Amino acid sequence: MRPAALDPLFAPLTSLKGIGPKLERPFARLLGREAPRVVDLLFHLPSGFVDRRARPTLAEAIPDTDVTVEIRVDGHQPPPPGRRAPHRTYVSDATGDLVLVFFNMDATVLERMLPVGSTRWLCGRIALYDGMRQMAHPDRILDEAGLARLPPIEPVYPLVEGLAAGQVRRAMEAALARILDLAEMLPAQLVAAQGWPSFRQALHAVHKPQGLNDIAVTGLPWQRLAFEELLAHQLTLALTRAHQIEAGGRASRGDGALVERLRGTLPFRLTQAQEEAVRAIREDIAAEKRMLRLLQGDVGSGKTVVALMAAACVMETGRQAALMAPTEVLARQHQETIAPLAARAGIEVALLTGREKGRARQAILDRLRTGEIGLLMGTHALIQPDVAFKDLALAIVDEQHRFGVEQRLTLARKGAAADMLLMTATPIPRTLVLTLFGDMAISELREKPPGRQKIDTRSVSLDRLEDVVEAAGRAIAAGAQAYWICPLVEESDLSDLAAATDRHEALKARFGAAVDLVHGKMSGADKDAAMARFASGEARILVATTVVEVGVNVPNATLMVIEHAERFGLAQLHQLRGRVGRGEKASTCLLLYKAPLGETAKARLAMLRASEDGFAIAEEDLRLRGEGDVLGTRQSGFPGFALARLELHSALLPEARATAAALLARDEGLTSEDSAPLRALLYLHGRDAAMRFLAAG
């Protein structure tokens, strides 16, 4: 049972004053949860801040910086009737003049907010327009009482369409009032030694900072919250692993006949690294202990074939395997690779995604229950409640960092004591493996299969865009194909980045029907159709967003153009580059960047030109940008973590692991009364999977 003290934090967000069904929708998008709770908002930490303590005169104010200025209102100039001109308000102080500009605002309201002759304080940014100081739509217009309430340092939060900064601030104020004084969830000695505030004090400090140390990611308040989250995760890993070991495994010991038959049907020889991985997996699943192994392989290193061999190991004993991928594109790519090999070896495989419906879906489920299907591949559709195996022995999760711990466990629970193989095409540094999974077995595929070509990687300024278009034209005229990657789907008012739709139109105007488009907002069927046209050679240039990052195999594609490469993470660029160089022809990757480049972007592009070693690139990526980009997801924080930033909080990791081990050594099931605050910690940070293990005894 969840501790009653946490109930106010787990109440729906709509229980806060001012948040009704209409506002709940944008908050749900912002917080990534269909029915957001108060705790989800409290864990939505600031992405920056504005120092409201800067109080220059108008003459001292630096253009395009956030300032708070004291002014006298001199007069108003409403727009002429029927004209779309802005309302102008003229203000001044002893050192100069300023024009306030308002679009689509009622003149009566503005004159009431800014009465002529009154003194007001304005928060915002001053710009120079035709030599005149101008402020468009001040963030705040305050009288003396409002100024007294102005926070000295104001947090800035990530927003979504439909939510204004003021709405998030007011909701946060109401959420902070819900936090009760909870029993200390961390060891008292540790809190005292680190000088950390309490949980309640830490959240108040980060959301209502009085000084820069309060809101700094490395400051004591944020550090305490990050440590809590890391400790909750480490406890979850340890409890989950202990539960799996205690529950025991089921040995799958076959005679090797199916594996050898499958090996004989392969049109190539396995690399030494693949053979070692298969051998290690076979030993693991033949043991009485449940397997938990991570298979790391660089782009094109042959993980899918290892996964098929692992599945064959359990199918020899009459049991089943499942392979879950994060996207339909990737799931179908696995099917295309595996199905022909499996058919030649006499292995029954099937694909289950959201697209299989009605009778077709039911037929798959029926064959799965009878054990006719030996290997089921698919997306999240595999963990739906009505998907039942006859005897699932091996759960394989591809691109595992895109799934939460709970989703991986849900797949494993489809079988009795099922072994688990996690796969990633993004090599993960050892530090991150320990963070995300705890101590676990690792197999690395560092060799590339024979025939993979070295890719000529070059950086090119966007000023030479026309030359790159000509190069793409020469490539397709010579019979090759090209990818053209853009960071956005369509043009945004807030960004000058190239849009995939706009680039598609521009290239189509030049090369006609040879140009196709694929992006994440398209339906699965439309995406697959575009991919199929490219794979068949009907389309010669595929304009795409990062949806082609993994799972696409077109050997005839020899040119990869990545527009605004400076905006992508290093590991993500490496993943994208790996879409070419898959055939016999020489391949090229052009990294288009907008000058001038910052130091980090320069280092990133230089590393990519110098190396094709995904493991070395992952280490460098962690150093340069933090774990978000290493994992190919968001740029700060890693999957499942709202508060911890590994690039800044990595020093807390050893302490979190050691603390978890010490706490579990004292009370291995966290069942005693003394461990009640730790159980609250697990609930608070969403580690429900561990709580279920505790409840199950």
pLDDT tens digits for range 90-136 = 999 999 999 999 998 899 999 999 999 999 999 999 999 888 999 99
| Encoded tokens for 625 | 């940008």
Per DSSP, the three-state class of 48 is: strand
| Encoded tokens for 350 | 């099937």
- Residue intervals in the chain for CATH 3.40.50.300: 251-445, 455-611
pLDDT value, residue 15: 95
Residues 6 or more apart whose CB falls under 8 angstroms from that of 647 comprise 622, 625, 626, 627, 636
What does the CA dihedral 291, 638, 428, 308 come to, rounded to 10 degrees?
50
Which of 666, 472, 437 is CA-nearest to residue 580? 472
Rg (CA), the chain: 29
C-alpha pair distances (Å), 629 with each of 538, 549, 611: 34, 13, 17
Confidence of residue 601 (pLDDT cuts 50, 70, 90): confident
Residue 241 parent element (H or E): helix 220-247
Which of 348, 343, 275, 328 is CA-nearest to residue 305? 275
The fold of 251-445 is Rossmann fold (3.40.50)
pLDDT value, residue 496: 46
Least confident of 144-153, 185-194, 450-459, 513-522: 450-459
Percent of the chain exceeding pLDDT 70 equals 90
Partners of residue 591 on adjacent β-strands: 459, 562
Confidence of residue 689 (pLDDT cuts 50, 70, 90): low
- 413-457: pLDDT as tens digits: 899 889 999 998 777 776 677 666 776 788 988 877 666 678 999
pLDDT value, residue 241: 75
Are the CB atoms for 432 and 400 separated by under 8 Å?
no
pLDDT value, residue 636: 33
What does the CA dihedral 266, 296, 573, 471 come to, rounded to 10 degrees?
-20
Separation of alpha carbons 486 and 482, rounded Å: 13
Write the CATH number of the domain with boundaries 53-150: 2.40.50.140
Return the beta strands (E) in 27-179 as ranges: 48-51, 66-77, 87-93, 96-102, 119-125, 127-129, 132-136, 140-142, 153-156
In eight-state DSSP terms, residue 580 is: S
The backbone torsions φ and ψ at residue 507, rounded to the nearest 5 degrees and listed phi first, read -70, -35
- 259-294: pLDDT as tens digits: 999 999 888 889 999 999 999 999 999 998 888 899
- 458-503: pLDDT as tens digits: 999 999 999 999 999 999 999 999 999 988 655 444 444 557 888 9
Give the side-chain half-sphere CA count within 13 A for 153.
Answer: 16
Are the CB atoms for 325 and 549 separated by under 8 Å?
no
pLDDT value, residue 493: 41
The overall average pLDDT reported for the chain is: 87
Mean pLDDT of 142-162: 91
pLDDT value, residue 130: 85
Which of 419, 372, 378, 417 is CA-nearest to residue 395? 419
Percent of the chain exceeding pLDDT 90 equals 54
Separation of alpha carbons 576 and 559, rounded Å: 11
| Encoded tokens for 170 | 């007011």
Q: May I ask the CATH class of domain 455-611? A: alpha beta
Mean pLDDT of 220-237: 93
| Encoded tokens for 642 | 């709202």
Residue with the bigger pLDDT between 522 and 225: it is 225
pLDDT value, residue 431: 65
- 548-574: pLDDT as tens digits: 654 567 889 999 999 999 888 787 888
Confidence of residue 171 (pLDDT cuts 50, 70, 90): very high
Separation of alpha carbons 446 and 585, rounded Å: 22
The backbone torsions φ and ψ at residue 275, rounded to the nearest 5 degrees and listed phi first, read -60, -40
- 642-678: pLDDT as tens digits: 898 876 787 888 899 899 999 999 998 888 999 999 9
Mean pLDDT of 170-192: 94
Separation of alpha carbons 82 and 628, rounded Å: 51
Separation of alpha carbons 280 and 285, rounded Å: 9
pLDDT value, residue 316: 93
Amino acid at 494: L
- 314-371: pLDDT as tens digits: 999 999 999 999 888 788 888 988 999 999 999 999 999 988 899 999 999 999 999 9
pLDDT value, residue 627: 43
Which of 276, 271, 281, 272 is CA-nearest to residue 308? 281
Residues 6 or more apart whose CB falls under 8 angstroms from that of 82 comprise none
Kindly tell me if the per-residue pLDDT of 688 is higher than 80. no
- Classify burial at 489, counting beta carbons within 10 Å of its beta carbon; exposed 0-12, middle 13-18, buried 19 or more: middle
pLDDT value, residue 319: 96
pLDDT value, residue 251: 86
pTM value surpassing 0.85: no
| Encoded tokens for 597 | 């480049």
pLDDT value, residue 344: 93
Kindly tell me if the per-residue pLDDT of 542 is higher than 60. yes
Confidence of residue 405 (pLDDT cuts 50, 70, 90): low
pLDDT value, residue 488: 65
Separation of alpha carbons 371 and 317, rounded Å: 12
